Amino acid sequence: MTFDRALWTQTLSKDFAPPWPCPSCVKGTLRLEPKTLSYRETIASRRVHGDEDWDPTSVDYAFTAWLKCSEPSCGEGVAVAGTGGLEPVWDAEAGQGWEEFFMPRLLCPMPDMFTLPRKCPAQVVQALRSAFASSLHDPPAAAGKVRVALERLMDHVGVKKRRKGGNKVVDLSLHQRIQAFQVVEPDLGNQLMALKWLGNTGTHESAINRDDLLDAFEILDHAVSELIDQRSKRVAALARRMIKKHARHRKP
């Protein structure tokens, strides 16, 4: 399962939930269990109903619901909670109306947002799953977890953590470690460096939004796959072997 950006920007309705992957079996997708969605308007939202400039888009809800895996042999249940509101809808007969929408802020247990390679080191998996878990309600915290995942990836590919500096051993920063990796793998190194800057922002500031984080996950999906499974290198090797085996039998 590659990262599907559109999947993680969808909202729920009273009878629909986005088909997120099951966190247990991965084969199935999550479906909204009938009659489990419950919502209320917040007190702060109700207080402004009398304001002169009030309109239905000012309404704020809090909601909870249950999702269930579509795979009969699994049936995992996932709790979802978040916020909601009203959005305009148009009907040819009735004209404009308003419909509830619900934005997920927490899924428990949280699905993987993209497939993690089988050989992915446990510490990398742990950091990425921590990022997934906080992504919907706390993007800056998730960006910080991305930074941790980068440190663990540098460990996996053997980039040194320390170097001798005079008469003492000096710890290398993540920036310096990625720079060392860029010498060997420039393209992947550039991608990881971009993620490092995002992680820095998430650690020191709060100016990380959902789109920033989705960008990061899209890059991470590719980078982790390349670092762990080395798919591009394997495909290139297959192509070279195929050319060597078959090209000599035919004329151009």
Q: For the domain that residue 204 is a member of, what is the CATH number?
A: 1.20.120
Alpha-carbon distance of 192 to 81, in angstroms, equals 32
Q: Which residue has the tokens 């969808």?
A: 10
DSSP-H helix ranges across the chain: 43-47, 122-135, 139-156, 174-184, 186-204, 210-228, 231-246
pLDDT of the chain along its 252 residues, tens only?
789 999 999 999 999 999 999 999 999 999 999 999 999 999 999 999 989 999 999 999 999 999 999 999 999 999 999 999 999 998 877 778 999 999 999 999 999 999 999 999 999 999 999 999 999 999 999 999 999 999 999 999 999 999 887 788 899 999 999 999 999 999 999 999 999 998 777 666 567 889 999 999 999 999 999 999 876 676 666 666 766 766 665 555
Looking at the chain, how many residues does it have? Answer: 252
Q: What is the largest CA-CA distance in the chain?
A: 82
Global pTM value: 0.86
pLDDT digits (tens, 9 = 90+) for 110-144: 999 999 999 999 999 999 999 999 999 999 999 99
- Give the residues across from 23 on adjacent strands: none
**Whether 126 and 96 share a structural domain:** no
Last residue of a domain, one of 109, 141, 170: 109
Residues 118 and 236 in one domain: yes
CB contact at 8 A, 130 and 179: no
Question: How far, in Å, are 12, 16, 148 from residue 153 at the CA level?
Answer: 35, 37, 9
Last residue of a domain, one of 109, 125, 145: 109
